[in-house]
């Protein structure tokens, strides 16, 4: 493509709306793309409403060529990440662009230049905006829609990133399970029975009548369980409440498990109906007026489930309690009429979680990649 590329910093609500709506230009002919809800994106990307952006400097950019919008990106200084990991890393996120190497380069170079003012030594991404949200570029498995809160992109994104010399920082796996392949075999059931006998964990569902108290229990487990994981960033109380406020509206209490061992909250598992089945039918991303009817009609017809997260406190991790949670949620999911599901995302080198997914009959069917480059 010819013409000069101009990168503009977002300075108005109109610019932010262009940032939000740009993906429709990229994916209008992609049957596997799931449109976000515009009202949700406006809230999530608001520097006034989202606690993440209040604490972590972020700049949003739009790319133009000959007056035409051709891309977007965010440059992110995640101070919490750097403090927790004792690093000085910058991040990019929300990258979308037309199939043009020079547009990608201009956007990424702009993010790099912005991060250099903070003396960052490297840049990683995509993080949208952190590992507590959507991350990574899809590098295989383009032929099916993403599950709820997972990313999707054209194959050329990966090709261009590698042409530009970005290297792999980490791969993330998504495992697929369905009622034909999921294996609650006699051996798996024996593992469950032995674990329950040896470590009698009480698995209970979340108590919605005491939701705030339950949130604090889950946050404590969450921030303890992943403290040693690559890229993990603890959630502040404000960030946790911000995320939970949205989840509260859509979660099924039967699919949120808290495990108690000797009176201590030892772990939790969060699974959610795959709302992308619904959002894919709201093609313009607008819930009002007509999207609401589609949402209400189709939300009770969801047949797939995403197991989003399983956290076990570090002191209990050697006991192998994760199998109890996984087996229980699969039984519950099948009983509630879910026919298939996804376990995602799991770090490529998280051996315990990968082995648990494989034990249950899960197969890696999508891989996501986080890239890195030196500054």
Residues 39-95: pLDDT tens digits? Answer: 999 999 999 999 999 999 999 999 999 999 999 999 999 999 999 999 999 999 999
Question: Which residues face 261 on adjacent strands?
Answer: 264
Do 227 and 131 form a contact (C-beta atoms < 8 A)? no
Do 39 and 74 form a contact (C-beta atoms < 8 A)? no
**Domain range annotation of the chain:** 5-172, 177-368
Which of residues 256 and 288 earns the better pLDDT score? Answer: 256
Which of residues 321 and 19 earns the better pLDDT score? Answer: 19
d(CA 364, CA 354): 9
Do 306 and 342 form a contact (C-beta atoms < 8 A)? yes
pLDDT grade, residue 3 (50/70/90)?
confident
Task: Extract the runs of DSSP E, i.e. beta strands, from 162-250.
Answer: 167-178, 202-205
Q: Each residue of 262-271: pLDDT tens digit?
A: 989 999 999 9
d(CA 242, CA 216): 13
Fold of the 177-368 domain: Aminopeptidase (3.40.630)
Q: How many other C-beta atoms are found inside a 10 Å radius of the C-beta of residue 178?
A: 14
d(CA 367, CA 182): 20
Do 34 and 279 form a contact (C-beta atoms < 8 A)? yes
Which of residues 56 and 180 earns the better pLDDT score? Answer: 56
**H or E element that contains 126:** none
**H or E element that contains 117:** none
d(CA 363, CA 354): 10
d(CA 279, CA 147): 11
* Average pLDDT estimate for 332-350: 93
pLDDT value of residue 183: 66
Question: Do β-strands 363-374 and 122-125 pair in parallel, antiparallel, or remain unpaired?
Answer: antiparallel
For residue 280, how far is the Cα from the chain centroid? 17
Q: What is the pTM of this model?
A: 0.94
* Average pLDDT estimate for 174-193: 82
Task: Extract the runs of DSSP E, i.e. beta strands, from the chain.
Answer: 5-9, 58-65, 68-76, 89-97, 122-125, 127-128, 134-135, 137-140, 167-178, 202-205, 256-261, 264-273, 304-312, 340-347, 363-374
List, in order, residues 6 or more apart from 306 with CB less than 8 Å away. 147, 148, 149, 150, 271, 272, 273, 274, 341, 342, 343, 344
Instruction: Give me the half-sphere count of Cα atoms (radius 13 Å) on the Cβ side of residue 362.
Output: 26
Selection from 128, 122, 117 nearest residue 151 by Cα: 128
Do 343 and 361 form a contact (C-beta atoms < 8 A)? no
pLDDT value of residue 165: 97
* Average pLDDT estimate for 215-223: 92
Has residue 106 got a pLDDT over 90?
A: yes
Q: So what CATH class is 5-172?
A: alpha beta
How would you write 4-42 as a 3-class SS string? CEEEEECCCHHHHHHHHHCHHHHHCCCCCCCCCCHHHHH
pLDDT, averaged across the chain: 93
Same fold, 5-172 and 177-368: yes
């Amino acid at each position: 493509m010819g013409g000069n590329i101009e990168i503009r910093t977002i300075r108005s609500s109109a610019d932010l709306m262009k940032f939000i709506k740009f993906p429709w230009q990229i994916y209008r002919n992609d049957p596997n793309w799931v449109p976000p809800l515009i009202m949700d994106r406006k809230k999530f990307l608001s520097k006034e409403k989202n606690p993440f952006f209040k604490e972590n400097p972020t700049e949003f950019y739009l790319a133009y060529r000959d007056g035409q919008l051709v891309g977007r990106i965010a440059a992110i200084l995640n101070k919490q990440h750097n403090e927790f990991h004792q690093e000085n890393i910058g991040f990019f996120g929300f990258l979308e662009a037309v199939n043009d190497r020079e547009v990608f380069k201009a956007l990424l170079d702009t993010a790099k230049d912005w991060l250099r003012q903070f003396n960052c030594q490297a840049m990683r991404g995509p993080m949208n905006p952190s590992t507590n949200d959507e991350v990574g570029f899809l590098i295989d498995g383009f032929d099916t829609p993403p599950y709820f809160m997972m990313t999707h992109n054209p194959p050329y994104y990966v090709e261009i990133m590698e042409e530009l010399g970005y290297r792999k920082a980490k791969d993330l796996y998504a495992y697929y399970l369905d009622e034909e392949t999921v294996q609650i075999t006699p051996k798996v059931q024996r593992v469950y029975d032995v674990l329950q006998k040896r470590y009698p964990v009480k698995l209970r569902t979340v108590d919605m009548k005491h939701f705030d108290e339950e949130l604090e229990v889950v946050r404590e487990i969450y921030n303890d369980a992943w403290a040693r994981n690559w890229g993990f960033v603890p959630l502040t109380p404000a960030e946790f409440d911000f995320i939970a406020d949205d989840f509260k509206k859509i979660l099924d209490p039967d699919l949120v498990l808290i495990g108690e061992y000797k009176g201590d909250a030892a772990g939790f598992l969060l699974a959610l109906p795959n709302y992308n089945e619904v959002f894919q039918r709201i093609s313009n991303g607008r819930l009002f007026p007509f999207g609401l009817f589609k949402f209400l009609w189709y939300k009770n017809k969801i047949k797939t489930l995403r197991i989003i997260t399983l956290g076990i406190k570090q002191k209990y991790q050697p006991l192998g309690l994760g199998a109890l949670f996984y087996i229980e949620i699969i039984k519950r999911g099948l009983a509630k009429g879910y026919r298939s599901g996804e376990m995602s995302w799991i770090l490529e080198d998280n051996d315990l979680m990968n082995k648990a997914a494989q034990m249950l009959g899960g197969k890696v069917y999508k891989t996501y990649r986080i890239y890195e480059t030196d500054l």
